[in-house]
Structure 1
Amino acid sequence: MEEDVWRFLAWHLQKAGIETVLVGGAVVAIYTEGLYQSGDLDMVPDEFERKRIEEVLTAIGFEARAGRYFGHPQCEHLLVEFPKGPVELGEEFPVTPAEELVSGEILKILSPTDCVKDRLAGYIHWQTRDTFDQAVLVCKKQAERIDWSVLKNWCKREGALGAYEELEKAVQRE
């Protein structure tokens, strides 16, 4: 569900010249093939232009909600948020997102490895166990696409090698 809505929105925004990167829980939902459900799409625009974003989304049936949120009357359970950028993963900046070509437009999303970093950042900085569990799910479903050496080096730079070791054990254990 999240993936279809993301592709639809990102395609229309990109067509209008508004580049976004999908981050957060919706990326987990996509890479776990729906094992995790997010409930929202976090799309970081290259430049925050609320008026232009609102124009594009209104034209395709979305309505502005409080703050940076948008919703669609036929999809009430899924909100779209446009947090201000840039995309950062802990102390890592800049982040180079993965690209996907959809009907002639390039859509951007965190790579599986960067998605795991994003989830681990929540675990490291806020001790949120659910984000750790999401990182484990992504590692299992995207095993061939995870760069473990990049994850290990990132955790070292974040001062959290223990989080990497815990992740490695959790993925091997299950």
Structure 2
Amino acid sequence: MKSKRAAKGKSRVNAKTKTKSKTKTKSKSKTKSKTKSKSKSKSKVKLKPKSRTKTKTKAGVKNSKTIKAKKKASVKGATKKPSDGVRKSKPLPVKPPSLEGKGIRELAAAISSYIKALGFDPVLTGQGCAAVYGASGIHLRGLEFVISEYISKKIEAAMKELGFKHLVHRTYGSEKLGIEVSFLPPPVCVGDEMVGDIPVIKTSSGDLSLLSPTDCVRHRLAYYYRFGNKDGLDEALIVARKNKVDLDLIERWSHWEWASDKFQDFHDLLRGFM
């Protein structure tokens, strides 16, 4: 009986030891697997920020390189400019003509041809136009050109080449020639009426676009009608006396300008000239 009990006790002890060893091995395997999974997860977590920091540092290096390149380019561009900070003006593509010893017609044509060669479209009006048609009968004080576009730097450079100094606004003067040249804005008008047909005359100094004799008379009469300028009346009479003009058109236009009475004065004086 005792031997049986002892055998049973041993078997129980063996079973307990087996279960303990199994639980120990299971717990060990579990802890090992847990530690492995933790170490793997930790390694994964640690790897991600490393890759991010690398990409960030690469991007930062690229940005710093581009900034440095831009700074170098700006420094190079700055060194290309002249030391005094003033840009040198390009020479004009057309050689300026000589204006010395020219009559009124040739003088106006030379200036007009030179300005036209630079890309402008000057039309001679005003007293200068009357002087071309009236010759020595009119004392010329200046030339007036109407141009569709006025580029101040280009015009100023051109007039400087011709020996003119900038006086005020669009007016230039030459002490040597004793005249002024003005550039007026468009359109070409006589009083309130726009002029459509612009004749061109040929001279030894080039072509000259200007008002017709009839439009020139109307232009000078407009100064007399509106401002009471007697010089305008005298210049209109000289042009009408030396050139063929349309008096009927001038009379109708004078009526539209509310100056029929002043036209009658002009007409009576013109008959006296004739």
TM (normalized to structure 2)?
A: 0.58
Of residues 166, 173, 198, the one that matches 1:97 is 198
Change in Cα spacing, 1:164 to 1:4, as seen in structure 2 (3 Å) is same
Of residues 162, 170, 174, the one that matches 2:261 is 162
Matched position secondary structure for 1:116: helix
**Within 5 A, what are the aligned runs for 1:3-82?**
3-75=105-177, 77-82=178-183
How high is the sequence identity, in percent, across the aligned residues?
26
How far apart are residue 52 of structure 1 and its match? 2.0
Counterpart of 2:100?
Answer: none
- The runs of 5 or more residues in structure 2 that have no matched partner are 1-102
How far apart are residue 65 of structure 1 and its match? 2.4
Per-residue Cα deviation, 1:49-96 (whole angstroms, up to 9, x for no partner): 222222322333333222212233531x11111122222111102443
Mapped contact 2:110–2:206 kept (Cα < 8 A): no
Mapped contact 1:28–1:138 kept (Cα < 8 A): yes
- The runs of 5 or more residues in structure 1 that have no matched partner are none
How far apart are residue 104 of structure 1 and its match? 10
How far apart are residue 110 of structure 1 and its match? 1.1
Mapped contact 1:29–1:36 kept (Cα < 8 A): yes
Mapped contact 2:107–2:205 kept (Cα < 8 A): no
Counterpart of 1:88?
Answer: 189
TM (normalized to structure 1)?
A: 0.88
Per-residue Cα deviation, 1:105-147 (whole angstroms, up to 9, x for no partner): 65311111111101111111111222111111111111xx211
Instruction: Name the structure, 1 or 2, with higher relative contact order (CA <8 Å, separation 6+).
Output: 1
Counterpart of 2:241?
Answer: 140
Structure holding more helix per residue: 2
Q: How many residues are treated as equivalent by the alignment?
A: 171
Counterpart of 1:115?
Answer: 216
Matched position secondary structure for 1:18: coil
Matched position secondary structure for 2:219: helix
Matched position secondary structure for 1:33: helix
Change in Cα spacing, 1:125 to 1:73, as seen in structure 2 (3 Å) is closer
Q: Let me know the Cα RMSD of the aligned residues.
A: 2.0
